[in-house]
């Protein structure tokens, strides 16, 4: 009897290997609670020309409390402004976001609207889960980079939500104590970082995870040499890899960063374990709230030949076959001047709409650095196979950081990239 039980147990354990993959996907679409509990009570309902009505569910991945509250706030405002459409939002952790969208696509259980990382946009557009909203939405005043990330084969599959870019953050006190000034070139970065390094403080770091986040932070090295993200095995690509390796080998950049997310990196900086880091616009509101016990400031990323930064940000995408009309209605509201400005300021993003972005941060020197850096910010993709390219790039810099040869790593990454692009 005991043995029979053990046999059954063994079989069940086998079963869970595969069944485990599917379990979580199904419960997502259920019990989406509208984030505003306020009942629709407004009397002045606007006549709805398109006949858009019903529920709209949004998936998003912002983990910062301030970001979630800002989204809840505009949803509540929208729900109160009319009675036909009821919007609700569902948080899906970033690490699970791509998985849930894939599972949802395969199982036909998707929300009506998603707010997603822009380098992934092309993949899902190619998959066919996003509605073509060409002509339904005016993006003529938007910056071209973010709009490109929503475009595939000349069709518009989304609307840019907001943009961010990367700059160099530095601890003013530590630099001063080490008698250093803000670095502007790669050589200076190396010198300053080494000078600031102590037993407990690392001179420099940026998120170097072997994933999209890491690639995002690494690519400015490549772009600064004049090479593109698709030319790793070029003079510039190898130079970038060599420089990163040098930074790590000489102790100027901490190897720990290969296990740090951008949030972890910021926390290390905030705890005083890091003198300089590369990080993004969205960290500013959080860092200001922390009231850090030391002085800090931002500057453009130290450069080789050209000034370069990475363009990040999220896009809205309407799911094909969902409640498309109602979702577009909400988008019109969310991208209207006042709502957009509220969201951007609450989240520390730069509006992708140039008419709104101009003057968005008047008199704020820190944000102004980010806005100035925008014109040097390069986008990733848009390419449906971008995740595989990104994987090859992140593998390459992880290899050199942990002791690999730059030329070898570059050649390997290039072989992967070429095989994907030629397909």
Partner 1 sequence: MKKVKRFFRHDNAGLLFVLPAVIYMLVFVGYPILSNIFLSFQNVTVNNLVRGEKKFIGLGNYKVLFKDAVFIKSLTNTVFFTVSCLVIQFIIGFALALFFNKKFTFSKPVRGILMIPWMMPMTVTALIFKFMFQSKVGILNYILMNLGLISENIDWLTKPHTAMFAVIATNIWIGIPFNMILISTGLTSIPEELYESAAIDGAGSFKKFTKITLPLMRSTIESILVLGFIYTFKVYDLVYVMTSGGPVNSTHLLSTYSYKLSFDNFEYSLGSSVANVLLVILLLVGILYLKITMKGEEKNEQ
Q: How far is the CB of 272 from partner 1 (least distance, A)?
A: 12
Site string for partner 1, 236-265 (x = CB under 8 A): ------------------xxx-xx------
With CA atoms as reference, report the closest residue to 229 among 242, 215, 209.
215
22 interacts with partner 1 by CB under 8 A? yes
CA separation for the pair 84, 45 (Å, rounded): 8
23 burial level (CB within 10 Å; 0-12, 13-18, 19+)? exposed
Please give the size of the binding site for partner 1, defined by CB under 8 A. 49
Rounded Cα distance between 380 and 389, Å, is 10
Is 99 or 246 the residue whose CB approaches partner 1 more closely? 99
Q: Residue 404 Cβ, how far from partner 1 at the closest point, in Å?
A: 7
In this complex, which beta carbon is closest to partner 1, that of residue 231 or of residue 385? 385
Stretch that binds partner 1, among 38-46, 132-140, 206-214, 358-366 (CB under 8 A): 206-214
Is residue 198 at the binding interface for partner 1, with CB under 8 A as the rule?
no
CA 388 distance to own-chain centroid: 17
Confirm or reject binding of residue 402 to partner 1 (CB under 8 A): yes
Out of 40, 68, 90, 105, the only residue in the binding site for partner 1 (CB under 8 A) is 105
Q: Per CB under 8 A, does 129 bind partner 1?
A: yes
- Cα dihedral sign for 132, 134, 139, 143? positive
Residue 47 in the binding site for partner 1 (CB under 8 A): no
Distance CA(191)–CA(303), nearest Å, equals 14
Figure out which of the listed residues 106, 177, 290, 415 binds partner 1, where binding follows CB under 8 A. 106
DSSP 331-350: HHHHTSHHHHHHHHHHHT-B
Q: Is 102 among the residues that bind partner 1 (CB under 8 A)?
A: yes
> How many Å apart are CA 155 and CA 125, to the nearest integer?
10
Burial of 10 (0-12, 13-18, 19+ CB in 10 A): exposed
Which chain residues interact with partner 1 by CB under 8 A?
Answer: 3, 6-7, 9-11, 13-19, 21-22, 98-99, 102, 105-106, 123-124, 126-129, 200, 202, 209-211, 254-256, 258-259, 273, 384-385, 387-388, 391, 395, 398-399, 401-404
């Amino acid at each position: 009897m005991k043995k029979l039980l053990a046999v059954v147990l063994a079989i069940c354990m086998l079963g869970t290997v595969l069944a485990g993959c599917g379990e979580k996907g199904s419960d997502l679409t259920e019990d989406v609670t509208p984030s505003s509990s306020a009942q629709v009570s407004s009397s002045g309902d606007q006549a709805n020309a398109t006949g858009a009505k019903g529920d709209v569910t949004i998936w998003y991945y912002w983990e910062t409390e301030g970001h979630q509250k800002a989204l809840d706030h505009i949803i509540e405002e929208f729900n109160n402004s009319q009675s036909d459409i009821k919007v609700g939002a569902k948080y899906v952790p970033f690490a699970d976001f791509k998985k849930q969208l894939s599972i949802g696509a395969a199982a036909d259980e998707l929300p009506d609207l998603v707010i997603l990382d822009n380098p992934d946009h092309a993949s899902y557009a190619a998959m066919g889960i996003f509605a073509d909203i060409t002509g339904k939405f005016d993006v003529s005043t938007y910056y071209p980079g973010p709009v490109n990330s929503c475009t595939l084969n000349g069709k518009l599959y989304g609307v840019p939500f907001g943009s961010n870019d990367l700059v160099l953050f530095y601890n003013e006190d530590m630099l001063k104590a080490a008698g250093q000034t803000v670095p502007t070139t790669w050589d200076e970065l190396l010198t300053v970082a080494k000078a600031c390094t102590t037993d407990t403080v690392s001179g420099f770091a940026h998120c170097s995870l072997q994933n999209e986040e890491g690639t995002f932070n690494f690519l400015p090295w490549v772009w600064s040499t004049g090479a593109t993200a698709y030319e790793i095995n070029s003079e510039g690509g190898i130079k970038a890899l060599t420089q990163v390796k040098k930074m790590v080998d000489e102790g100027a950049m901490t190897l720990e960063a290969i296990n740090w997310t951008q949030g972890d990196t910021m926390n290390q900086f905030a705890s005083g374990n890091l003198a300089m880091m590369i990080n993004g616009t969205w960290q500013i509101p959080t860092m200001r709230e922390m009231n850090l016990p030391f002085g800090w400031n931002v500057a453009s990323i130290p450069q080789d030949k050209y000034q370069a930064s990475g363009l990040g940000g999220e896009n809205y995408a309407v799911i094909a076959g969902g409640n498309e009309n109602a979702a577009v209605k909400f988008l019109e509201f969310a991208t209207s001047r006042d709502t957009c400005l509220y969201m951007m300021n609450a989240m520390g993003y730069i509006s992708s709409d140039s008419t709104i972005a101009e003057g968005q941060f008047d008199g704020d020197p820190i944000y102004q650095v980010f806005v100035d850096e925008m014109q040097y910010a390069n986008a990733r993709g848009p390419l449906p196979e971008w995740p595989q390219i990104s994987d090859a790039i992140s593998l390459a810099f992880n290899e050199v950081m942990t002791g690999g040869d730059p030329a070898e790593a570059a050649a390997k990454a290039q072989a992967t990239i070429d095989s994907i692009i030629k397909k």
